[in-house]
Structure 1
Amino acid sequence: MPVEAWYMDNSDGDQRLPHRRDPNQPVSPEELQKLGVLHWKLNADIYETDPQLAQIRKDKGYSYMDIIDIHKDRLPNYEDKLKMFFEEHLHLDDEIRYSLDGQGYFDVRDKEDRWIRISMSKGDLITLPAGIYHRFTLDETNYIKVMRLFVGEPVWKAYPRPAEDFEIRQQYKASIQ
């Protein structure tokens, strides 16, 4: 089952709402792939023994993983973390997230600088390429449990927009021309 994505409206309402345009303007998995965004649908109930996840990790070199519960009762500094996750930024490495439970949204910028909202739910594994501007928010359920994957040691540094001078940003922009 492909990931669901759409162009966002321009309202300033609650960030946890879907923010679909009227009429809705869906974004296909092929369009996401042109932006470097990759997606797999896996069985999150067997993530500890899933051969498909093990193969993806092996093929992509995802050697490190941890799990984070984003819920007000389980995440220290919950409100501050949510604000930080929703600030537009980029990373010098790919961002790889696997939803084990709950729901949320990744927003990414397209070539014309428009926001695309990607719905994440249980079983969705997504890779955002290094250099893409993005942000994350929960949906109205206010909960998601995700596995964070990295190539090598985790790097938690986010660079807020504008970050056009970064070499990785220039490489990313050249890759989507």
Structure 2
Amino acid sequence: MVEVYYHDNKDTAENFTEAHNSGESISLDKLGSIGVIYKNITSIDELNKLASQRDYKNRDVVNLDLAAFNNDIDAYNAKMKQFYKEHYHEDEEIRYITAGEGYFDVRDKNDRWIRTKLVANDLLILPAGIYHRFTLTDDLKQVTAIRLFKDEPKWEAINRDSGITSAAREEYASSIAV
């Protein structure tokens, strides 16, 4: 079963791939209350059915590990730091893990980090406008994921520290207002 819990907020630039489990578990219902959907998908047929239901027409596969960066540790570390920088997207984000493992962190209604550890067959849907970040786990440092897109594949992150607030962010914030 997927692990979902509050992050302990004790991460640093050096240890953000560690579990950082506060010991306070989060239910999938609570995750759902902020618009995040978790599913365990065990076949490509199930994935195709979900893609059809949600009107996703395109996909790609991303592999993150040191080998994907030609063993260039500096390039690898730069990409991991980029993914871990708090951001949102103007489109829904769907990630289906086919191998390896990683952490998705999302902000709850009170701006606390919720950490979700995803492994093979886990699928996470993040609503447009939600602040989040991603990192690999300290144990494995590898993940392969299928990314689904409604249109052409794109990945434009709007970093929180940029101060930019798009319509997608405003709509999301309004949808979870306390």
> Scaled by the length of structure 2, what TM-score is found?
0.90
In structure 2, the CA distance between the partners of 1:63 and 1:75, relative to structure 1 (3 Å rule), is farther
Inter-partner Cα distance in structure 2 for 1:156 and 1:164: 16
Paired residues for 1:161-176 under 5 Å = 161-162=160-161, 163=163, 165-176=165-176
Inter-partner Cα distance in structure 2 for 1:129 and 1:60: 12
- Which moves more between the two structures, 160-169 or 141-150? 160-169
What do the CA deviations read for 1:27-78 (whole angstroms, capped 9, x no partner)? 10000111110111012xx4xxx32111101000111101011010124632
Inter-partner Cα distance in structure 2 for 1:66 and 1:158: 17
Inter-partner Cα distance in structure 2 for 1:154 and 1:89: 18
State how many pairs are aligned.
169
From 54, 62, 67, give the equivalent of 1:68: 62
Q: How far off is 1:82 after superposition? A: 0.7
Paired residues for 1:106-117 under 5 Å = 106-117=104-115
Residue of structure 1 in register with 2:20 after alignment: 19
Q: How far off is 1:164 after superposition? A: 5.8
Inter-partner Cα distance in structure 2 for 1:132 and 1:93: 10
Residue of structure 1 in register with 2:118 after alignment: 120
What do the CA deviations read for 1:116-161 (whole angstroms, capped 9, x no partner)? 0011100001110100000000001100001111111122110000
Q: What RMSD, in angstroms, separates the aligned Cα atoms of the two structures?
A: 1.4
User: Which runs of 4 or more aligned residues in structure 1 lie more than 3 Å from their structure 2 counterparts after TM superposition?
Assistant: none
Asked if the contact 1:164–1:170 (Cα under 8 Å) also holds between the matched residues in 2, the reply is: no
Inter-partner Cα distance in structure 1 for 2:165 and 2:102: 30
Match of 1:125, as an amino acid?
Answer: L
Match of 1:99, as an amino acid?
Answer: I
Asked if the contact 2:158–2:164 (Cα under 8 Å) also holds between the matched residues in 1, the reply is: no
Paired residues for 1:21-170 under 5 Å = 21=22, 24-43=23-42, 46=43, 50-75=44-69, 77-140=75-138, 141-162=140-161, 163=163, 165-170=165-170
Inter-partner Cα distance in structure 1 for 2:171 and 2:67: 40
Classify the secondary structure of the residue corresponding to 1:98.
strand
In structure 2, the CA distance between the partners of 1:164 and 1:172, relative to structure 1 (3 Å rule), is farther
Inter-partner Cα distance in structure 1 for 2:11 and 2:103: 16
Asked if the contact 1:131–1:168 (Cα under 8 Å) also holds between the matched residues in 2, the reply is: yes
